[in-house]
Amino acid sequence: MTDIVFRTARELRAALGARELSVREVVQAHLDQIERVNPRVNAVVTVVAERALAEAAAADERAARGEDLPPLYGIPVAHKDTHETAGIRTTFGSPLHAEYVPERDELVIERMRAAGVISLGKTNVPEFAAGSHTFNPVFGATRNPYDPSRSAGGSSGGAAAALATGMHPLADGSDLGGSLRNPASFCNVVGFRPSIGRVPSWPAPLGWSGLATAGPMARTVADAALLLSVLAGPDPRSPIALDEPGEGFAHSLDRDVRGLRIAWSPDLGGSVPVEPEVAHVVEASAKVFADLGCVVERDCPDFAGADEAFRILRAWQFAVKFGPLLESARDRLKDTIVWNTEEGLRLSATDVGRAEVLRTELFHRFREFFTRYDFLLLPVSQVPPFDGELEYPTRVAGQDMETYLDWMRSAYFVTVSGSPALSVPAGFTPGGLPVGVQIVGPHRADFAVLQLGHAFEQATRVGRQRPAVA
């Protein structure tokens, strides 16, 4: 079983296509792994075993008939509990939706199922995906596989912990302020925030908004790229969807990286506090790229205005989404959601307009920066995995964090820039906690970012260190 559940998705797909494994064997192995390991980490919160095994049997029958097999044929996945899945309970981590069962799949699930994925169930999230620590009143907290007393990150924390422990080889996630990248860093897996529009969203009440995006998670960069090949591509239901099809992301990521120009900063040019053990991993990662033949310099674009722009636009979105709930269900929302929503309700049109101007200015500073460099190397999170009993870190590198957002700046400043960003395993603290590094590239240079991450991953092999609970 261990051999099956820790194979890469690409290896599993090849074995399934060659009929070396049946889909039933693969699905059962992952269901057994969930039963064995999940009680220790609380990553998978809804399991649909009978449905998964029935789908597996049908998939095996299609293969036996000699039918063409789709790109993710037979790959088992538990989906993020904020992504609506037809016939499977989707709670958003909220008691308001504790028994909600959607009648249709949202776009990313629709695409994964069309590509042959077998749905195992749902992975845990913070309440309404708010915050980068996965806990909620419906299912409780997800624990870090490398130290169950620590946070698994969020909001795709259940997905990351399940990946790290072999409960599934691929995972869908989403990222507004770091929700793909932060849990990947905390759990020693890969999370990729693609360029806005690369993975279209539907249904989406704010269809023109370009701040949040869905994206892939996996244990390897190549597997994340494979999932992106299915998730990416145009869709007429999304007004900001990019026209480029996704199939190209399934191609080999091998690339000669010698001569590439890489800037790096342990603290985003001094704009955020970062714990020393995290900064050390970023510096060590820069040396890895130098050893690979890259031209590496310590430099960083100016992030002026990123904090204000993100907080305004996030609060505005919270006001749109949760404003009506303040009157009808205020006492059933966690305090940070209420606070962030009230911040949004206080905004003026001028405030939102200023945020868009600041965001545009940052985009152009990044555009100019990437005429001098090919990539930017940064910390994913300003802290290593923190005490799981805390709602969020209240101090970072000796500085007080006033709100639940402050400690996530190293991720959400990059969100505002519009650049694609990859979290890839990079090292461990002296206490054995995972730390990822963030590789940022020019706008829409998604494939190039994945290529560089793949080269780094092959050189370091940090992601191969499994947690003891697995």
Active site residue 179: yes
| Annotation says 209 is catalytic | no
**Is residue 380 within 8 Å of 436, Cβ to Cβ?**
yes
Active site residue 80: yes
Considering 22, 94, 174, 179, which one is annotated as catalytic? 179
End-to-end CA distance of the chain: 12
Beta strands in 196-354 (DSSP E): 213-218, 261-264, 295-298
Q: Is 74 exposed, middle or buried (0-12, 13-18, 19+ CB in 10 A)?
A: buried
Catalytic residue among 155, 185, 195, 229: 155
Helix (H) and strand (E) counts for the chain? 14, 17
Catalytic residue among 80, 122, 174, 419: 80
Contact status, residue 336 vs residue 404, Cβ threshold 8 Å: yes
Residue found under tokens 């494994």: 21
Residue linked to tokens 């309970």: 89
Write the CB contacts of 269 (distance below 8 Å, at least 6 apart in sequence). 300, 301, 302, 303
Distance between CA atoms of 440 and 411, rounded to whole angstroms? Answer: 11
Instruction: Classify residue 232 by burial, with Cβ atoms within 10 Å: 0-12, 13-18, 19+.
Output: buried
Residues serving a catalytic function are: 80, 155, 179
